[in-house]
């Protein structure tokens, strides 16, 4: 195994490690099983932390491991202050934190604040009647005179966002599954309870949070109908095209201005501990604008990611230019966290039909762009989307919309550590999702032995970013597209002379790039990029070729 880099964890709580940092997402059910039940666990993550540290990343983000009925695999929390037994114990989590910190890796955990499970004691009390102490902790509403739901809001998982409850003879709001009722953030007691939960995990030593569905916290207190979204503005970034959720502009069911007030309170708590957060902005029309609002300096979370690079739209050179132009227009001071893959979307190697050369090119690109980076487990191996048969599906999303939409199981199959058995070294038992046979040839053990493996390239580009502060925090200027050729410059944020010129051929043909004049350009070594014949000549880029050059 490669040597673990000396990343270290700054003792200075004001250090902005997150700005330009690299975060590695772990989906705990599918990382490493140590108990033989076919489901990954916290001790499995701890066991594999040396591998993660060897990637050179700044932090890990662990998807939910809280007590849960697992109807949405942990994103339906029934106890915010404990670990679900299938993942281990609080002591196991404490040991994970200690081990990670000893290896120089920070730990961020997934906080699901917009909704809970219907098995949470808060909801069980709230639904008993209309007068109990938590009666107003969730979004309840009377039916219309004809008995139908209060408004036209839709659930991301299909159908109305309202569920009738016979105990209260009212509807409750659920933006996701029926078993995931939405908390009422208009109630100050709810905000206090959730901030207390946040403090509980900060006191246990976590370094930050990934905030699930950060723009869903507040619903319109007047419960007004969402307007229709014109067909030409619909897209499938957030929900598949077969879902009628795409037919509405969700101005009342989410994206409310009150959210900014709560996020200011949340940020104040983070600042007490020197912690950081990245918010998931789930909105296909206003995602980038909300990113700017929610990461306003000192008043919101430190960084957010929208879905611009998580969609099926091919990531062409022109698309990258458009995204950065939009970012500079609506969120010039916002701080993005870019991801190409995660646990909710088809893996980008499949979405964009990339061969290994394409995967290398995009791995280099994401580490060269302005913003922070989030990598998803297995991305560093070049894993494609796994094919999961209908009878093996676990995801309620895929089961609901099959076969037009296969759900999210294909990106959640177990990590492949070795090719010597059918479970890829993940578990000695039958895994909760089948290991893809196509993934076994990309197993970690095999790639460790190959000098030209994609895994080593990821280590190289993460190291490049770590060793070059201008790539972490420097502005990105002159972002331009010429055919398939994407070029941009990263410059010293303090106005010094350091300049990095980046060029990527995001296509299958040959091209040449003319270097900016007067640079005395020298290649950044160790990342496999093309090199100029001399300091001030052009560079030939083959299909999926790239070059990153430093000015003398």
**Structure confidence by residue, pLDDT tens digits, 450-473:** 999 999 999 999 999 999 999 999
- pLDDT band of residue 243 (cuts 50, 70, 90) is confident
Question: Smallest Cα–Cα separation from 433: which of 39, 25, 12, 34?
Answer: 39
> Per-residue pLDDT tens for 211-227?
999 999 999 999 999 99
Q: What is the pLDDT of residues 374-410, one digit of tens each?
A: 999 999 999 999 999 999 999 988 898 898 888 999 9
What average pLDDT is seen over the chain? 94
User: pLDDT value at position 421?
Assistant: 87
What does the block give as tokens for 24? 């590695």
Are the CB atoms for 43 and 92 separated by under 8 Å? yes
Task: Report pLDDT for 77.
Answer: 98
DSSP-derived letter for residue 246 is G
d(CA 513, CA 516): 9
Domain ranges of the chain: 22-116+188-376, 473-550
Q: Is the pLDDT of residue 210 over 70?
A: yes
pLDDT reported for residue 401: 86
- Residue 525's alpha-carbon distances to 406, 436, 519, 550, in angstroms, are 41, 35, 17, 10
At 49, list the tokens: 């932390």
pLDDT (0 to 100) of residue 101: 98
Higher-confidence residue of 299 and 418: namely 418
**Contact assessment for residue 500 and residue 470, using Cβ atoms and an 8 Å cutoff:** yes
pLDDT tens for residues 138-193?
A: 999 999 999 999 999 999 988 999 999 999 999 999 999 999 999 999 999 999 99
Q: How far apart are CA 45 and CA 100, in angstroms?
A: 10
How many secondary structure helices (H) and strands (E) does the chain include?
13, 20
Q: For residue 55, how many C-alpha atoms fall within 13 Å in the half-sphere facing its CB?
A: 27
Query: What pLDDT shows up at residue 285?
Result: 87
Q: H or E segment at 92?
A: helix 90-102
Active site residues: 212, 272
Average pLDDT over residues 355-366: 98
What pLDDT was estimated at residue 28?
98
d(CA 374, CA 363): 11
What predicted TM-score, i.e. pTM, was given to this entire model?
Answer: 0.95
Contact in structure between 110 and 64 (CB atoms under 8 Å)? yes
Sign of CA dihedral 338, 344, 349, 353: negative
Q: Which two three-digit tokens encode residue 83?
A: 């670990």
**For residue 242, what pLDDT is reported?**
75
Q: Say what the alpha-carbon torsion angle 396, 399, 405, 409 is, to the nearest 10 degrees.
A: 60
**pLDDT for res 518:** 76
Q: Is cis: bond before 403, omega within 30 of 0?
A: yes
Distance separating the N- and C-terminal Cα atoms of the chain: 34
State the pLDDT at residue 536.
63
The closest alpha carbon to 325, from 473, 475, 474, 479, belongs to 479
- Other beta carbons within 10 angstroms of residue 100's beta carbon come to 24
* Interval 500-523: pLDDT, tens: 999 999 999 999 999 998 778 999
CATH architecture type of domain 473-550: Sandwich (2.60)
**Least confident interval from 29-43, 196-210, 492-506:** 492-506
**What pLDDT score was predicted for residue 236?**
63
Measured distance CA(85)–CA(83) in Å, rounded:
6
**Structurally, what CATH architecture does the domain formed by 22-116+188-376 represent?**
Alpha-Beta Barrel (3.20)
Token couple for 530: 């093309």
Neighbours of 264 (CB within 10 A): 13
> Residue 5 pLDDT more than 60?
no
11 falls in which pLDDT band (50, 70, 90)? very low
Q: Which residue has the tokens 């043909």?
A: 509
Residue 231 has pLDDT above 90, yes or no: no
Residue 479 has pLDDT above 60, yes or no: yes
For 74, other C-beta atoms within 10 Å of its C-beta total: 23
Helices (H), 390-443: 396-401
Q: What pLDDT does 239 receive?
A: 62
Strand partners, 182: 115
| Residue closest to 217 by CA, chosen among 179, 258, 246 | 258
Name residues whose C-beta falls within 8 Å of residue 350's C-beta, 6 or more positions apart in sequence.
Answer: 384, 385, 410
pLDDT tier, 284 (very low <50, low <70, confident <90, very high otherwise): confident
Structure token digits, residue 148: 């139908």
Q: Could you tell me where the beta strands, DSSP code E, fall in 203-265?
A: 208-211
Which pLDDT value is given to residue 14? 47
Is 475 strand, coil or helix? coil
CA distances from 40 to 50, 343, 374, 427 (A): 17, 15, 21, 8
Environment class of 543 (CB within 10 Å of its CB; exposed 0-12, middle 13-18, buried 19+): middle
In percent, how much of the chain has pLDDT > 90? Answer: 85
Residue 4 has pLDDT above 60, yes or no: no
Measured distance CA(25)–CA(20) in Å, rounded: 16
Instruction: Tell me what the mean pLDDT of segment 17-42 comes to.
Output: 98
pLDDT over 70 for what percent of the chain? 96
Question: Cα separation of 274 and 208, whole Å?
Answer: 9
- Is 50 exceeded by the pLDDT of residue 277? yes
Mean per-residue pLDDT for 53-79? 97
CA 96 to chain centre: 21
Residue-level pLDDT at 189:
98
User: Does residue 2 carry a pLDDT above 70?
Assistant: no
Tokens describing residue 418: 């070795």
């Amino acid at each position: 195994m490669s040597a673990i880099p000396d990343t270290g964890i700054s003792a200075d709580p004001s250090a902005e490690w997150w700005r330009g940092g690299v975060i590695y997402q772990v989906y705990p059910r599918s990382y490493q099983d140590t108990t033989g039940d076919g489901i990954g666990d916290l001790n499995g993550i701890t066991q594999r932390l040396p591998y993660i540290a060897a990637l050179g990343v700044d932090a890990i983000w662990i998807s939910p491991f809280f007590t849960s009925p697992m109807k949405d695999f942990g994103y339906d929390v029934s106890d915010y202050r404990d670990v679900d037994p299938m993942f281990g114990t609080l002591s196991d989590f404490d040991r994970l934190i200690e081990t990670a910190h000893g290896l120089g890796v920070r730990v961020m955990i997934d906080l699901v604040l917009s909704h809970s499970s219907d098995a949470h004691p808060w909801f069980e009390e709230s639904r008993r009647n209309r007068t109990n102490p938590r009666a107003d902790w969730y979004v309840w509403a009377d039916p219309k005179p004809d008995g139908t739901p209060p408004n036209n809001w839709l659930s991301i998982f299909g159908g109305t966002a309202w569920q009738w409850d016979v105990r209260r003879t009212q509807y409750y709001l659920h933006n996701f599954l029926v078993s995931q009722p939405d908390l009422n953030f208009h109630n100050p007691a709810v905000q206090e309870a959730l901030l207390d939960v946040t403090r509980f995990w900060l006191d246990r030593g976590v370094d930050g949070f990934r905030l699930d569905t950060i723009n869903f916290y507040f619903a319109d207190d007047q419960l007004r109908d969402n307007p229709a979204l014109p067909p030409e503005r619909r897209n499938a970034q957030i929900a598949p095209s077969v879902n009628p959720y795409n037919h509405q502009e969700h101005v009342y069911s989410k994206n409310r201005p009150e959210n900014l007030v709560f996020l200011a309170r949340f940020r104040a708590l983070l600042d007490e501990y020197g912690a950081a957060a990245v918010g998931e902005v789930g909105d296909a029309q206003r995602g980038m604008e909300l990113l700017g609002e929610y990461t306003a300096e000192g008043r919101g979370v430190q960084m957010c990611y929208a879905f611009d690079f998580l969609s099926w739209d091919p990531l062409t050179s022109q698309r990258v230019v458009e995204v950065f132009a939009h970012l500079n227009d609506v969120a010039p001071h916002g701080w993005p966290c870019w991801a190409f893959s995660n646990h909710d979307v088809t893996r980008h190697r499949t979405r964009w039909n990339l061969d290994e050369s394409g995967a290398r090119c995009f791995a280099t690109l994401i580490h060269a762009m302005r913003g922070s980076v989030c990598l998803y487990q297995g991305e560093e191996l070049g894993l494609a989307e796994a094919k999961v048969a209908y009878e093996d599906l676990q995801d309620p999303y895929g089961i609901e919309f099959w076969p037009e939409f296969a759900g999210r199981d294909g990106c959640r199959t177990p990590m492949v550590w070795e090719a010597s058995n059918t479970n890829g070294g993940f578990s000695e038992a039958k895994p909760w999702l089948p290991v893809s046979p196509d993934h076994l040839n990309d197993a970690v053990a095999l790639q460790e032995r190959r000098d030209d493996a994609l895994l080593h390239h990821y280590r190289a580009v993460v190291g490049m970013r770590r060793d070059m502060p201008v790539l972490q925090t420097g502005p990105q200027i002159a972002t331009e597209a010429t055919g398939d050729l994407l070029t941009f410059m990263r410059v010293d944020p303090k106005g010094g002379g350091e300049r990095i010129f980046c060029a990527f051929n995001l296509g299958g043909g040959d091209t040449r790039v003319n270097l900016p004049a007067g640079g005395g350009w020298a290649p950044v070594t160790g990342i496999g990029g093309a090199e100029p014949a001399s300091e001030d000549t052009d560079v030939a880029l083959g299909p999926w070729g790239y070059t990153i050059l430093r000015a003398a």
